[in-house]
Structure 1
Amino acid sequence: MMSRKGFYRGLVAATVLLVLCATLKNVWPPRTPGTRFDNKPKTVSVPTTTWPYRLVGNGNQDDIQINQDNSTYLNDNAKASLAKDIEGETHVSWFDMCSRKDDNDVAKIQQKVKHIMFLKVHKAGSTTMEYLFFRFGIHYNLTLVLPKNGFYVLMRDDLSDILPIRQDAHYDMLASHTIYNSTKISRVLPEDTIKIGIIREPFDRMVSAAYYYRDIRKMPYLSAVPKDNFISNLIRNHSVYDTNEFSQTKNSMAMDFGFPKGLTENMSYAISAYISKLSSEFELILIMERFEESLILMKRLLKWDTSDILHIATNRNKHIQVTPDTEDLAKFKSMCFLDYAIYNHFWRIFESKIASEGKSFKEEVEYFKTVLDSVNAFCRNVKEGDNFKVDGSQWNCPFTLTSRDCKAMEMDLDVISLPILRERHIKIQGL
């Protein structure tokens, strides 16, 4: 019979053997830095351009490999750095990723949606959004659908009004002015493209447009309206001054969303049918009056980071505040029945989306507003060479802004503009 002393010695030996086996399992076979536990290479999309953004820290742009399909991978040097970062040995600051705890987190930057169609709606904050998408496209080396001349794209059936691309390339994003046409869009953008639009309360949008297109763009039909009681005159005498079915002050949002001509206020079935079509094709409609909430909804939908949705509001045309009386408002709602149908429908959808996001949504919106205030304060007083660091949080990775980033957000024409974007496109595509 085994003695008690012998029994304990055997137990200790067995325990040591089990620990040794477990240790060998974790270190054998030896792993090559930058490989998964299943020996598949780690890959991560990163910015492949330093303008207007930059690779920070010790990053080396030569470590980035670009495939023919525009996908971006890290070479062995970058993979090794990434592997060390995952093990907690170093911090790869040059692509501004958050600290990762497991393999799944490495894919965060890969998961960002990059195939996007944004529908610009006149005088609804859409220029701010357009340049937000332009900055994102530059940051991630995306191919933008750009007009050859002017500001509009996809207005010709043969698509000859957009800058072409190489045969082996594809477009990634559209954010320029267009009249929504799902057929044309499907001809230029990938099948998995997410469509986003924006709307604004119709009366407020009309007032902003009326003053802007009268005072800045000098549109003849608006210049003809008496300046005294300008908005009231425009509404009460729209059959005299605003005679077109669609204009910048009459069902303008419906025009941008591609509504067919010939609809009347009593054609509720046809109007509802087209709005239902839009609902099925657009993943998200932003609302200008609730801009920060809209951006957080978009951020979550696109799997973007806080740094991707920073902005400085621009293109604001100051004018007197107008409050319509009951009669003018009723006439305007009848005049712009399509815009109100759009707005009311997508407002309800917007509310339901927010309700489904839960308590953390409101917290993230408040956090985002705080970040925006800090960023705007920095950019108002920024000097060349200044940096502004934003710490990481549960909603974003840490990031750093420079004076050039401020210029890009302010739409400085020396930093970002359609001519610069066209030049970039022609160079990348080798045209």
Structure 2
Amino acid sequence: MSENHLSFNFRSNFSAYEEQLCSPVTRVVLLKTHKTGGSTIASILGRYAYTHNLKLPRFRSIKEDRPFYRQMLEGQPNLKMFVSHTLYNRPEMDFVFGDAKYVTIIREPTAQFESAFFYFKMPQALHLEQFENPIEEFMQSPEKYKNTKRFRHHEKSLNGQFRYLGLPESKFTDEWFIRYKLKQLEFEIDLVMINEYFDESLILLKKTLCWQFDDILYLSKKVRSTSNRTLLTSTLKEKIRSWNSADVLLYEHFNRTFWRRISEYGNTFFDDLNIFRKMKVASNEKCVGSFFNRSINDGPDVKLVKVKENLSEKDKQTCIDLNKDANDFMRILG
């Protein structure tokens, strides 16, 4: 296992007193949502598992389009972390992962919808490529397009975030049940991160898991180029929000709890955030040689990282580990 750490001139102010109050968490379940930054969180957790010899599920052993059940991981004992897409099913997850910490990340619904719409090639599936703005056309008759025969990703075109956090489609417009589910999730999930405040989220993750700054470092990658983004007018955003009304309620609720968590963190939060951002800049400067664009699964081009060559063996291996994604770690540890 890799035990490498980049050499930085920044110290964590995670005091000895605080360390006495908690021990690093080694059992974590990531409730992974699509196109929210979840893959970066998964790679952070996967790297921690790799450097601490913690077992991950085997690659591609999970069925993501149905609620999690224990038989998915049959024959895989002593699992410590879960970083795959699946529908949230707490009793079954507890059976496998015991007293794990549960974390997730969500994103502003119009931005998440736009990203998922093109990542999952919905314009091609729905024959909307000829339109200048396929999302605008989709939103003219969203129910019709969602119910198109053989539309494989129909479930990701409506409230795709709340669906993966356990809200049944039959309850998408049931406001009473949604409010109940939000309170349930607030009680059950240890941390809900927000994509738009990614670094702030990682500081909360660090505290929640009693980890160190090194453990939450990441390299920015798999970001779509601006040429592959669609402009959303204010009118179109409102249509998307109306269509994904459950996701809007989800985001608004946990955006409020997010800032409450920051206020409860203590007066060192912004000092810690500043330290982390300096470390992140330093790691990117040390590791990133160049960027290149490549299509993933025939989707839009995304920005990937080529690690520098002229590094010490120790730093090069650490940079390579920072550049791995969760699937790489599952192949190694599963």
Distance 1:106 1:208, change over 3 A: closer
Q: Is the 8 A contact 1:119 1:197 kept in 2?
A: yes
Q: Which runs of 5+ in 2 are unaligned?
A: 290-307
> Residue 383 of structure 1 is aligned with which of 286, 291, 309?
309
Q: Is the 8 A contact 1:195 1:281 kept in 2?
A: yes
Answer yes or no: is 1:127 the counterpart of 2:53.
no
Partner of 1:53: 3
Q: In the aligned structure 1, how far is the partner of 2:331 from the partner of 2:155?
A: 28
> Residue 182 of structure 1: CA displacement?
0.4
Q: In the aligned structure 2, how far is the partner of 1:404 from the partner of 1:290?
A: 29
Partner of 2:111: 204
Answer yes or no: is 1:404 the counterpart of 2:317.
yes
Greater helix content? 2
Partner of 2:168: 260
User: Which residue identity does 1:52 align to in structure 2?
Assistant: S
Question: Percent identity over the alignment?
Answer: 23
> Residue 147 of structure 1: CA displacement?
4.7
Distance 1:163 1:136, change over 3 A: farther
> Residue 188 of structure 2 is aligned with which of 272, 281, 292?
281
Distance 1:153 1:132, change over 3 A: farther
| 1:4-47 alpha-carbon deviations (Å, 9 max, x no partner) | xxxxxxxxxxxxxxxxxxxxxxxxxxxxxxxxxxxxxxxxxxxx
Question: Aligned runs of 1:26-175 on 2, under 5 Å?
Answer: 51-54=1-4, 111-147=23-59, 149=61, 152=64, 155=67, 157=69, 159-162=70-73, 164-166=75-77, 170-175=78-83
Q: CA RMSD in A?
A: 3.2
Distance 1:222 1:367, change over 3 A: farther
Answer yes or no: is 1:189 the counterpart of 2:97.
yes
> Residue 359 of structure 1 is aligned with which of 251, 254, 267?
267
Larger radius of gyration: 1
Secondary structure of the residue aligned to 1:286 is: strand
Secondary structure of the residue aligned to 2:105 is: strand
Answer yes or no: is 1:234 the counterpart of 2:138.
yes
| 1:182-238 alpha-carbon deviations (Å, 9 max, x no partner) | 011111012x21110100001011111112121xxx775344454411221122231
Q: Is the 8 A contact 1:286 1:294 kept in 2?
A: yes
User: Would you identify which runs of 4 or more consecutive aligned residues in structure 1 move more than 4 Å?
Assistant: 97-102, 104-108, 150-156
| 1:39-76 alpha-carbon deviations (Å, 9 max, x no partner) | xxxxxxxxxxxx233599xxxxxxxxxxxxxxxxxxxx
- Aligned length in residues: 307
Q: In the aligned structure 2, how far is the partner of 1:350 from the partner of 1:130?
A: 20
> Residue 144 of structure 1: CA displacement?
2.1
| 1:243-297 alpha-carbon deviations (Å, 9 max, x no partner) | 38962232110111111121243x2111101111111100110001100000001
Q: In the aligned structure 1, how far is the partner of 2:195 from the partner of 2:13?
A: 34
Q: In the aligned structure 2, how far is the partner of 1:339 from the partner of 1:122?
A: 12
> Residue 345 of structure 1: CA displacement?
0.3
Q: In the aligned structure 1, how far is the partner of 2:92 from the partner of 2:123?
A: 29
Partner of 1:419: 331
When the two structures are superposed, what TM-score results if normalisation uses the length of structure 1?
0.64
Q: In the aligned structure 2, how far is the partner of 1:340 from the partner of 1:100?
A: 35
Q: In the aligned structure 1, how far is the partner of 2:224 from the partner of 2:89?
A: 29
Answer yes or no: is 1:298 the counterpart of 2:211.
no
User: Which residue identity does 2:312 align to in structure 1?
Assistant: D
Q: Is the 8 A contact 1:225 1:233 kept in 2?
A: no
Distance 1:243 1:313, change over 3 A: farther
Distance 1:263 1:151, change over 3 A: closer
Secondary structure of the residue aligned to 2:198 is: helix
Q: In the aligned structure 2, how far is the partner of 1:176 from the partner of 1:412?
A: 12
Q: In the aligned structure 2, how far is the partner of 1:162 from the partner of 1:322?
A: 39
When the two structures are superposed, what TM-score results if normalisation uses the length of structure 2?
0.81
> Residue 321 of structure 1: CA displacement?
4.0
Q: In the aligned structure 1, how far is the partner of 2:278 from the partner of 2:72?
A: 41
Distance 1:254 1:98, change over 3 A: closer
> Residue 143 of structure 1: CA displacement?
2.1
User: Which residue identity does 1:213 align to in structure 2?
Assistant: F
> Residue 385 of structure 1: CA displacement?
4.5
Q: In the aligned structure 2, how far is the partner of 1:100 from the partner of 1:125?
A: 26
Q: In the aligned structure 2, how far is the partner of 1:264 from the partner of 1:184?
A: 23
Q: Which runs of 5+ in 1 are unaligned?
A: 1-50, 57-96, 388-400, 423-431
